[in-house]
Amino acid sequence: MVPFLCLVSLSCYANTLLNGFVYDDELQILANPYVKSWHYLAKIFGTTVWSFIGAAGDTNYYRPMMTFTYLLLWKAFGDLPFGYHLFNILLNALVVALVYLAGKELFKSWSIAAVAALLFAIHPIHTEPVAWIAGVPDLEATFLLVAAFFVYIRKPLLGLSSHVLVAGCYLTAILAKEPALMLAPLLAYYEHFVRDGHAHTPARAKLRQYLPTCLVGFGYLVLRSLLFGKLAPVLQHPQVTWRQAILSAFALITTYARMLFWPAHLSAFHTFHVSDSFWDSSVLIGLAIVLGCLLLLAYFHKRDPRISLCVLWIGLTLGPVLNVRWMAANVLTERYLYLPSVAFCWLAGCAAHYLWGLLEIRPKLAIPGKALLAVLGLVLVGLGAASIVGRNPVWRDDLTLYTTTLRADPDSYVMHLNLGTTYFATRNFTAAEKELQLALQLKPDSPNVLNALGCAYLELGRLEDSASAFKSAIAYKPRWTDSHFNYGRLLKKQGQSGAALAEFRTAVEVGPLNASAHLYLGEALAERGENSGAEAEFRESIRLFPSLSAQQQLADLLLQTGRETQALPLLEELAVEYPYDSAIHLKVARVLEHLGRPEDARKEYQKTLETDPANTEARVALGRIGDNPKAPSRE
């Protein structure tokens, strides 16, 4: 059964291998120095997930396993997205297998477990965490939590090796994503009310079973408090009152329940609206759902505590993401259901098993009823798989992701912002401005939008508008490096070199791991003749992210200061990395000729002519050192 379930899962998500890096992937992986070197291992495990962007990276998210996973994948695959997507789909297949194995152990029924795992494999709500590289924390936390749960319930009495394995999986799961912390109370409930023979087991013996897990959870909370000063150091939505947060939590429960039972109108970014009235229909439905779940919990507590455990599982693992005040911009998102849906699928398996049993005790309805259930099951599997396969390409590239999402949620300022920056990257500045203006209308106080708008105005030559946008962005978020170095670019264009230099210095100060900030500061220092400082900034920029611009400017600086022997290795490396850049080959050839290596210089001059046949300098040089190249063939 496990191979079949894994095959179904892999088939549903095979076409994600064609997807690229999108949205947060580009910042968390491509622009993240932590994932490029083992040098930052202490930073990965000792700081928050966004700390690499500098002072502006304050967040409540502590997920070192995510960044560590990216580090391992970077070492294996570099900047090829294929490997990251392969990891996601393989990990999801393992989760499907564990849903089956743990469900079979919990309910002592392979059929309940099989239905549950098959539903988990084809549930469209899981598309986002599997198809999007940045969804890996949900996959890892769920895999490790279910693995720990499976190991825990397999034996009536845990030995030392089992305790170590459960505690290890639990700790790693928490480091992957915070809601995994809820495994400890789930194991306590299982031990006291679900495990066979619990009624005759002394309380101390029960406590010894799950105490190590609880100690791991407590240790994590202490560590988190020591590292960040408190459990949740950042209030992401301070404008939301506690009353609104509580009402919004019930409204969120309504939406999440709808997604589980009826996964339609799915979107990569759901716009969240604060609930302000108790009489809002979503709030009332959410309250009814909570009361209904409490009644189910009480009803099955004695009749079948395994059902109560599943209800509790859903509530506890979903609870941490219902606090609006702590969440990021994407308050409501589908990947938050990945872990809770494990128990939801187990409950669905139990319901299917119960219906099948009812049919067996009614001979007249047995055959047609079972046939109908089987057909409905096949239709459900087909619809779910088709929905997943059809939706996976949404995460293929940024343009597809943002335009598709905006069709479903046109009032999402984040998606308008991202679409605007995507247009900006393709130099479609008019379209970029349009999207960014829409984003600004939806979120007038967003420094991200204002910074992006300032960049668009700068390219369009609207310098006063650009200055106003950058100043506003800095006012809203003074410790964000991007606004400072972009404002510095504007000041430099206006001829205010001194003010520009000050902005570049501030950018480096607040974002010491930002390669662009070091590059701009290096350029400014080089223009002022401060060559040693410029060289240091260029080298730091290259260390953080070896861009073509930084490498070329460092090589030019070395050449200008007469250090040709130091510049040559850098230029040769660039020539290998960019074999069709004739300007680089020409620079290499000049240095080689000047260093008295005519044969090597000849080869580089010839490579220059391969991509720039009309290059006069290369032709003259080849004639000078004894080679008369033929005119390029027109065949």
Residue ranges of the domains in the chain? Answer: 2-238+342-389, 576-635
Under a CB-based contact definition with an 8 Å cutoff, are residues 566 and 558 in contact?
yes
> Could you tell me which of 248, 376, 384 has the C-alpha nearest to residue 323?
248
Whole-angstrom distance, CA of residue 203 vs CA of residue 123: 39
Q: What is the per-residue pLDDT for 137?
A: 96
Q: What is the per-residue pLDDT for 627?
A: 57
What does 13-45 look like in DSSP terms, one character per residue? Answer: HGGGGG----THHIIIIIT-GGGT-GGGHHHHH
Q: What is the per-residue pLDDT for 108?
A: 93
SS3 for 332? Answer: strand
> Could you tell me which of 569, 484, 568, 566 has the C-alpha nearest to residue 520?
484
Does 628 have pLDDT greater than 60? no
SS3 breakdown of the chain: % helix, strand, coil, rounded to 5?
80, 0, 20
Q: What is the per-residue pLDDT for 147?
A: 97
**pLDDT category, 57, cuts 50, 70, 90?**
low
Does 126 have pLDDT greater than 80? yes
| Average pLDDT value for residue range 111-140 | 96
Does 272 have pLDDT greater than 90? no
pTM: 0.89
Q: In this predicted model, what pLDDT tens digit does every residue of 173-185 receive, in sequence order? A: 999 999 999 999 9
Report DSSP state, residue 270.
B
Secondary structure of 530-578 in HEC code, one letter for each residue: CHHHHHHHHHHHHHHCCCHHHHHHHHHHHHHCCCHHHHHHHHHHHHHHC
Q: What is the per-residue pLDDT for 344?
A: 97
Under a CB-based contact definition with an 8 Å cutoff, are residues 173 and 145 in contact?
yes
Whole-angstrom distance, CA of residue 44 vs CA of residue 39: 10
Q: Please name the residue that has the structure tokens 């995994």.
A: 180
Q: In this predicted model, what pLDDT tens digit does every residue of 364-393 receive, in sequence order? A: 777 777 788 888 989 999 999 999 999 999
Average pLDDT, rounded, for the chain: 91
Q: In this predicted model, what pLDDT tens digit does every residue of 391-405 receive, in sequence order? A: 999 999 999 999 999
CA terminus-to-terminus distance, the chain: 61
Under a CB-based contact definition with an 8 Å cutoff, are residues 461 and 430 in contact?
no
Q: What is the per-residue pLDDT for 233?
A: 65
Under a CB-based contact definition with an 8 Å cutoff, are residues 134 and 25 in contact?
yes
Whole-angstrom distance, CA of residue 158 vs CA of residue 497: 69
> Could you tell me which of 459, 462, 453, 460 has the C-alpha nearest to residue 482?
453
Report DSSP state, residue 625.
T
Query: Which stretches of 229-280 are DSSP H helices?
Result: 242-261
Q: What is the per-residue pLDDT for 327?
A: 77
Instruction: Name residue 332's beta-bridge partners.
Output: 270
Count of H-run helices and E-run strands, the chain: 30, 0
**pLDDT category, 200, cuts 50, 70, 90?**
confident
Instruction: Name residue 270's beta-bridge partners.
Output: 332
**pLDDT category, 224, cuts 50, 70, 90?**
confident
Whole-angstrom distance, CA of residue 96 vs CA of residue 98: 5
Q: What is the per-residue pLDDT for 149?
A: 97
| Average pLDDT value for residue range 581-591 | 91
Q: In this predicted model, what pLDDT tens digit does every residue of 428-482 receive, in sequence order? A: 999 999 999 999 999 999 999 999 999 999 999 999 999 999 999 999 999 999 9
Whole-angstrom distance, CA of residue 473 vs CA of residue 484: 9
Does 493 have pLDDT greater than 90? yes
Q: Any idea which of 45-49, 347-351, 360-364 has the lowest mean pLDDT?
A: 360-364
| Average pLDDT value for residue range 111-117 | 95
Query: Which stretches of 155-202 are DSSP H helices?
Result: 160-176, 183-189
| Average pLDDT value for residue range 83-110 | 96
Does 633 have pLDDT greater than 60? no
Q: What is the per-residue pLDDT for 634?
A: 35
> Could you tell me which of 121, 137, 134 has the C-alpha nearest to residue 9?
121
Does 501 have pLDDT greater than 50? yes
Under a CB-based contact definition with an 8 Å cutoff, are residues 557 and 587 in contact?
no
Under a CB-based contact definition with an 8 Å cutoff, are residues 538 and 522 in contact?
yes
Q: Say what percent of the chain tops pLDDT 70.
A: 97
